[in-house]
Amino acid sequence: MMKLPGKTVERLSEYRRTLLECLNEKRNFIFSHDLAARLHITAVQVRRDLMLIGYSSVLRKGYDVRELIDTIGKIIDSEESMNVAVIGIGNLGRAVAGYFKGKRSKLNLVASFDNDPQKVNRVISGVKCYPYTDIERMIKELDIRIAILTVPPDFAREITEETVRFGIKGILNFTTIPLNVPSGVYLEEYDMITSIEKVAYFVKENKIY
């Protein structure tokens, strides 16, 4: 499979999320324009993305929801499941854990790490919290590949450097500090302030009073 554009990968994830909701609603088929409308994009975009992953419905009564979920999974999931950990199980860490835990068959949230004695060795938001000092051992023992960083900013750089050294291959950074990782490690960053400021800018520009 050819390497997909990042944007398409993001949308595939969104398609699957929406399709899973459809299953909840007992919808077994969905039209491209319907799926598109739920995500505020165009039907053409949906069809084009599905073309890129070689999915074809043949049927003209919409896509088979279950089948499409599986197809997307074959593309974006890894063969064997990949293990994930949250580092820093504070407010944000708990939100991530509670939300993500058990949502995906191929991405398992298997641990969290913290240095607060009140938190370590307990199960928090469905995930066992280990002392940060054990992280090297646990990354290896549990074969953790992806780290979600939700520690206070001051620790972000050091923790990144260490976890990468211990074998982490992908980092989702929620701390305020932009990180640097060696090539071979994939880094994704997100900051809410950017989103909020973007909303504020467009509210202002629309001149809605």
Partner DNA sequence: AAGCCAATGTTAATAATTTAACAATAATCA
Partner DNA sequence: TGATTATTGTTAAATTATTAACATTGGCTT
> Residue 104: which of ligand NAD, DNA, its own copies, none does it interact with, CB under 5 to 8 A by kind?
its own copies
Q: Does 56 bind DNA (CB under 7 A)?
A: yes
Asked whether 151 and 159 are in contact (CB, 8 A), the reply is yes
Q: How far apart are CA 64 and CA 21, in angstroms?
A: 14
Select 74 or 116, whichever has its Cβ closest to ligand NAD.
Answer: 116
**Does 24 sit near ligand NAD (CB under 6 A)?**
no
* Closest CB 70 distance from DNA, rounded Å: 15
- First CA to last CA distance, the chain: 49
Contact between 177 and DNA per CB under 7 A: no
Please pick, from the candidates 14, 39, 57, 104, the single residue that binds DNA as defined by CB under 7 A: 57
- Give which of DNA, ligand NAD, its own copies, none residue 31 binds (C-beta under 5 to 8 Å, depending on kind): DNA
Phi-psi region of 78 (alpha: psi -120 to 50; beta: other; left: phi over 0): beta
> Is residue 44 a contact point for DNA (CB under 7 A)?
yes
Contact criterion met (CB below 8 Å) for 125 and 97: yes
Residue with tokens 């900051």: 191
Among the listed residues 4, 52, 92, 172, the single contact to ligand NAD using CB under 6 A:
92
Distances (CA, A) of 201 to 39, 196, 204: 22, 9, 5
Residues near ligand NAD (CB under 6 A) are 87-93, 95-96, 98-99, 113-116, 119, 132, 150-153, 155, 174-176, 190-192
